[in-house]
Amino acid sequence: MRFWYNRRLYRNDVAVSEEFTALPALAVISIGLTLFLIVFSSAEKSYDIQKESIDEYQTAGFLLDHILDPNAPIMKDKGVINYPFLNSIDGRNYLESIRRQTGNINFSISLSFKDEEHFYPSTPCDTDRIAVSQSIAVYLNEVETIPGRITIIIWWDTIG
Amino acid sequence: MDDKGLSTMYDAILFIVMISLSSIILTPIFEMQTINKLAGERYRENVAEETLHTFLVSMPSNFNYNLGGSIVDTAAETLGIDVADNNNLYHTITTLILGREQLHKTYNCIIAENLCSQFMIPISNNDSIKLNIFTEDFNEKLKDKIIKYLLGHLGDYNFNFTAYWYPIKGVHIGGILQVGDPIPDTTCYHAEETFVIPINIDFNKNLLFNISYIKNITGILEDHDIDNITKTSLSENLTALFRGFLLDGLLYNNISYPSILDIFISYGLSNIEDAIENISSKLINTAIGEGLYTLQGILGDIDNTTYYTGLFNILEKEFIDYLTNSTGINFYNLTGIITPLEDIIKPVIWNILEPIVEQLTSYIIDEFSSTSSNSIEILMDLLFNQVSTKATAVLVVWEDYI
């Protein structure tokens, strides 16, 4: 034990060392790096999802605005939809013509008033879809114009 | 070569600290609250606009009211008839004779008719009264319908719906309909729409060019430069023109050109006369035998021989009494009502209009000094701008934060 009080404290070369001195530091760093990568990738992913979702809802909104344009034949006036016309063959043809313009986006319109709900041109597919709705007045006949809700449901056609 | 060294964990700790800082910087991306809140607010703004437009263009399912209902009820009550019972003969007879049904009209037509029939006039600076007492039931039933519709479509929100028509802008003359809670100071979403009214306020603008004030003004503008003397003369002529157009009436070739106020009052009074006459003549045209005799016996003047005159006189008397009580001036019958009524209303309206007209005149004189061409066109535009030929409906929607 003689060599203990021979040395000064700050110049003490006596030490105990284990085999891998870098391991604790390495552990802390790897945990830190993993956490950082998790944070970063979540941020990127959520930003991506949000951007895509805004894009999809905007597409649905624009399509609904296009269909409900006051000059369209299915609209009787601004904010009033012509129900007899929508039910007729001309109405279906009009919706088909719009469908041809939209490329790989397929859509279906749901009109609900009183206690009924109708789909034009047909009921929607069961894949992933996006819906946007708006309140609207429905012109049933000369003496009845009642409030209702119109919803557009869009989904993307898979290729092939 | 220096073999001495020092090993610490400080660099690892520094690394961890840097990573934590960058995570803190990135955390706002995880909290989508602001974005969701903004998306929700945009939806709420659209709710107000869409609901208002859809409401105005739809038709009510069945809407009927009793013309003059409350007046006749009051008269009947003083004679001991139970007016609240919905199953007795009185109720059946009055619904048959006085009932009106509004069929196949959209809400904006019905509201426009109601606003035009209210005949609201200001009688002092803070007070206005609705002169058409025969349409009280119409007002109440329409308000009920509106509340029911809006509660059904806006159940989650609080709302306030106001529809008004002020033929002279800035003056509370015309008609107003208000339902809902008072508007709070918090964030509200506001939607507004205008629609046409059934009264035709049509002017031949060309006739106005020959009015003496306009001739004076054109004369001044052509001959002189604008200096202080012409300014006073111009402003006098302009004020007289505005006042004549809106309140007093204008002379053209010794023919009186009615003012907006004249048109409004004669329209309102003709509505009231029509209402009284319709009630009385329906009584005659509906032959229901004993029922007719019973109603007339209840309400008629015992001395008079004809049923028609009896009911007509009672209703006319009710209206005249109401007018006398509200304005404090004695009226005696329906003829010769216009001038004393206008004498009450004109000072009140001119109080409100005078500052507006002053501002307009100084603006017009500035326009005259700067550009000489199309000055009269500007003047005519400003003149006709003071008249509003459309009614406005305003829907305000807000959330209840508890």
Which pLDDT tens digit goes with each residue over A108-117? 999 998 888 8
pLDDT of residue B304: 38
Q: What is the mean pLDDT of chain A?
A: 84
Nearest to A84 by CA among A40, A120, A55, A33: A120
**pLDDT value at B179 more than 70:** yes
Set of chain B residues whose Cβ sits within 8 Å of the Cβ of A136: 50, 54
Of B12, B22, B58, the CB nearest to A147: B58
Residues A2, B209: Cα–Cα separation, whole Å: 125
B15 → closest Cβ in A32, A40, A144? A32
Q: What is the model's pLDDT at position B347?
A: 85
Q: Which of A35-39, B6-10, B231-235 has the highest mean pLDDT?
A: A35-39
> Do the Cβ atoms of B57 and B106 come closer than 8 Å?
yes
Per-residue pLDDT tens for B44-87? 778 888 899 999 998 888 888 877 767 777 666 665 666 677 77
Q: Comparing B384 with B80, which gets the higher pLDDT? A: B384
Peptide bond into A124 cis (omega under 30): no
The two structure tokens encoding residue A123? 């009921």
Q: Please tell me which of B121-135, B167-181, B286-300 the model is most confident about, judged by mean pLDDT.
A: B167-181
Mean pLDDT of chain B: 77
Amino acid at B343: D
Dig out the tokens for B133 from the structure: 């007492």
Do A43 and B12 count as a contact with CB atoms less than 8 A apart? no
Half-sphere exposure for B232 (CA within 13 Å, toward CB): 2
Residue ranges of A 111-130 with Cβ closer than 8 A to chain B: none
User: Kindly report the CA angle at B361 between B359 and B364, in degrees rounded to 5?
Assistant: 110
Q: Are B210 and B253 in contact (CB under 8 A)?
A: yes
Q: A–B: how many Cβ contacts below 8 A?
A: 75
Compute CA distances B395 → B110, B130, B241, B381, B401, whole Å. 17, 23, 36, 29, 19
- The answer to whether the Cβ–Cβ distance between B57 and A32 falls below 8 Å is no
- Rounded mean pLDDT, A4-24: 70
The domain locations on chain A are: 34-156
**Taking an 8 Å Cβ-Cβ cutoff, which residues of chain B contact chain A?**
7, 9, 11-13, 15-16, 19, 22-23, 26, 29-30, 32, 35, 46-47, 50-51, 53-55, 57-59, 61, 103-104, 106, 149, 153
Residues B27-50 have a mean pLDDT of 73
> Mapping DSSP to helix (H, G, I), strand (E, B) and coil, where does residue B218 land?
helix
Encoded amino acid at B371, one letter: T
Which pLDDT does position B53 carry in this prediction?
Answer: 92
Interval B89-117: pLDDT, tens: 677 767 766 777 777 888 988 999 888 88
Residue A22 has pLDDT above 60, yes or no: yes
Q: Which of B59, B155, B45, B43 is nearest to A133 (CA)?
A: B43
Q: pLDDT at residue A5 above 80? A: no
Mean of pLDDT values over A17-41: 83
**Burial of B181: CB neighbours in 10 Å, binned 0-12, 13-18, 19+:** exposed
pLDDT > 70 in chain B, percent: 76
CB atoms within 10 A of CB A9: 5
User: Distance from CA of residue B205 to its chain's centroid?
Assistant: 26
Antiparallel, parallel or unpaired: β B390-398 and B158-165 = antiparallel
Q: Which residue has the higher pLDDT, B375 or B24?
A: B24
Q: Kindly list the distances between the CA atom of residue B42 and the CA atoms of A5, B26, B38, in Å, as whole numbers in the listed order.
A: 78, 26, 6
pLDDT at residue B360, rounded to an integer: 84
The string of pLDDT tens digits covering residues B308-332 is 555 667 777 778 888 888 777 777 7
Asked if residue B302 has pLDDT above 50, the reply is no
CA distances from B225 to B73, B238, B291, B350, B366 (A): 67, 17, 77, 31, 13
CB–CB of A33 and B12 under 8 A? no
Report residue B146's pLDDT band, with 50, 70 and 90 as the boundaries. very high
Q: How far apart are CA B104 and CA B63, in angstroms?
A: 10
At B192, the pLDDT band (50, 70, 90 cuts) reads: very high
pLDDT in tens, A110-157: 999 888 888 888 887 888 888 888 889 999 888 888 899 999 998 888
For B282-301, write each residue's pLDDT tens digit. Answer: 655 554 444 445 555 555 54
pLDDT attached to residue B284:
52
- Confidence bin at B118 (pLDDT 50/70/90): confident
Integer Cα distance of B52 and B108 in angstroms = 10
Q: Are B181 and B125 spatial neighbours (Cβ–Cβ below 8 Å)?
A: no
Q: What is the DSSP letter of B374?
A: T
**Chain B closest CA to A13's CA: distance in Å?**
10
Q: What is the pLDDT of residue B289?
A: 45
Predicted confidence at residue B134, as pLDDT, reads 80
Of A100-109, B165-174, B200-209, minimum mean pLDDT range: B200-209
Give the C-alpha separation, B391 to B112, whole Å: 7
Residue A20 has pLDDT above 70, yes or no: yes
Q: Is the pLDDT of residue A97 over 80?
A: yes
Interchain contact, A28 vs B9, CB within 8 Å: yes
C-beta atoms of B30 and A78 within 8 A: no
State the Cα–Cα distance between residues B347 and B301, nearest whole angstrom: 39
* The pLDDT of residue B204: 66
- Judge whether A18 is closer than 8 Å to chain B, CB to CB: no
Average pLDDT for B6-29: 79
Q: What mean pLDDT comes out for the span B345-361?
A: 85
The residue with greater pLDDT, A117 or B255, is A117
Instruction: Catalogue the E-assigned strands of A6-143.
Output: 75-77, 80-82, 105-113, 116-120, 130-141
Q: What is the pLDDT of residue B203?
A: 65
Cβ neighbours of residue B355 closer than 8 Å, sequence gap 6 or more: none
Pick the closest to residue B94 from B283, B276, B306 (CA basis). B283
Q: Report the alpha-carbon distance of residue B356 to residue B370 in Å, rounded.
A: 21
Mean pLDDT of A29-41: 87
Which pair of tokens denotes residue B352? 């409100």
Distance in angstroms (rounded) separating the CA atoms of residues B281 and B297: 16
**Across residues B268-293, what is the average pLDDT?**
63
| B20: pLDDT strictly greater than 80 | yes
Measured between CA atoms, the residue of chain A closest to residue B24 is A39
Query: Which is it for strands A80-82 and A130-141: parallel, antiparallel or unpaired?
Result: parallel
Among A residues 90-109, those touching chain B with beta carbons less than 8 Å apart: none
Q: How far is CA A104 from CA A119, A157, B89, B371, in A?
A: 20, 5, 69, 59
Hey, of B21, B31, B57, B146, which one would you mutate to test binding to chain A, going by the most A CBs within 10 A of its CB? B57
Phi-psi bin for B328: left (phi > 0), alpha (psi -120 to 50), beta? left
Those of residues 53-72 in A touching chain B at CB distance below 8 A are none
The pLDDT score that the predictor gives to residue B288 is: 41
Predicted local distance difference test score (pLDDT) of residue B346: 85
**Which residues, other chains included, contact A75 with Cβ-Cβ below 8 Å and sequence gap of 6+?**
A68, A69, A81, A82
Average pLDDT over every residue of A39-68: 86
pLDDT (0 to 100) of residue A160: 43
Least Cα distance to B334 among B303, B313, B306, B311 occurs for B313
Best-predicted range by mean pLDDT (A97-111, B218-232, B311-325): A97-111
Instruction: Tell me what the mean pLDDT of segment B328-348 comes to.
Output: 78
